[in-house]
Amino acid sequence: MAAGTGAGDPNALPPDWAALLGAELTMPYFQKLSEFVTAERAANEVFPPPEDVFNAFRYTPVDSVRVLLLGQDPYHDNNQAHGLCFSVRHGIAIPPSLKNIYKELQSDLGISPPKHGCLEAWAKRGVLLMNAVLTVRAHEANSHKDQGWERFTDAVIRTLSARSQPIVFVLWGGYAQKKVPLIDQSRHRIIQSAHPSPLSVKKFLGTRPFSQINDQLEQWGQSPIDWQLPAGEMGATD
């Protein structure tokens, strides 16, 4: 498979990311992953749509990454997943974990939550919103785990960790925290806490990740992230 193509999806990784990760895209495991996703799309409904699989990389160029926020699995209900972890498109009901992220954002920085769940603005400001697994069969959580995506996204983490520019890695929950060994903590900052899902939200609320991220960026001489999301379209909030 030619470098830059993506796991059965028609849209290539953006050129900057393809240049960084080209070796991964030519490995046998990625070829198998590509064949798996292609077969899954032929037999089942798969989320997100092909053109959205690599949106995290499309919205956040390599040189703009200042924060990596790691999710696990794409949303698996209709019209939710669009390639950015925790995010949904305008007009789609805000998922419970994202509602809790918004609660913490308001508590931490006083930012009122928008009426939508679209986090594209964060991605465009340097927050890489990457799931560990980039596709999922409709209505079947974790149905594409252990097919090769984790190896690919681990390579993303390792590659970013190897860069000289420091990055804040945000790891919420036990699954994400298993990635700690991939990160050079002498160079980068890890912020970790409980996951914002309803099951663990009591341990998530009050952790102030957004101010911690900005404090660290400013210590490094970087600009803080503007966490204010545009009002955008009025979407369902239930």
The domain spanning residue 64 has which CATH number?
A: 3.40.470.10
Specify whether the CB–CB gap between 9 and 51 falls below 8 A: yes
Report residue 78 CA to chain centroid gap.
Answer: 19
State the helix-helix crossing angle for 149-162 and 28-43, rounded to 10 degrees: 130
| Strand locations in the chain (E) | 46-47, 67-71, 127-131, 136-137, 168-172, 189-193
In a domain, 104, yes or no: yes
pLDDT tens sequence for the chain (238 residues): 333 344 544 447 899 999 999 889 899 999 999 999 999 999 999 999 999 999 999 999 999 999 999 999 999 988 899 999 999 999 999 999 999 999 999 999 999 999 999 999 999 999 999 999 999 999 999 899 999 999 999 999 999 999 999 999 999 999 999 999 999 999 999 999 999 999 999 999 999 999 999 999 999 999 999 999 998 654 433 3
In a domain, 189, yes or no: yes
Tokens in use for 15? 């050129």
In a domain, 3, yes or no: no
CA distance 156 to 54: 12
Edge to edge, the sheet with strand 127-131 lists 127-131, 67-71, 168-172, 189-193
In a domain, 179, yes or no: yes
The active-site residue, picked from 16, 73, 77, 184, is 73
In a domain, 35, yes or no: no
CA angle in degrees (0–180, nearest 5) for 236-69-16: 105
Give the total number of structural domains in the chain: 1
Tokens in use for 73? 């699995």
Active site residue 73: yes
In a domain, 21, yes or no: no
- Single pTM value for the model: 0.92
Sequence-ordered list of residues with C-beta below 8 angstroms from that of 144, at least 6 positions apart, any chain: 36, 37, 40, 46, 73, 133, 134, 135, 136, 137
In a domain, 33, yes or no: no
In a domain, 67, yes or no: yes
Domain of 176 in residue numbering reads as 52-219
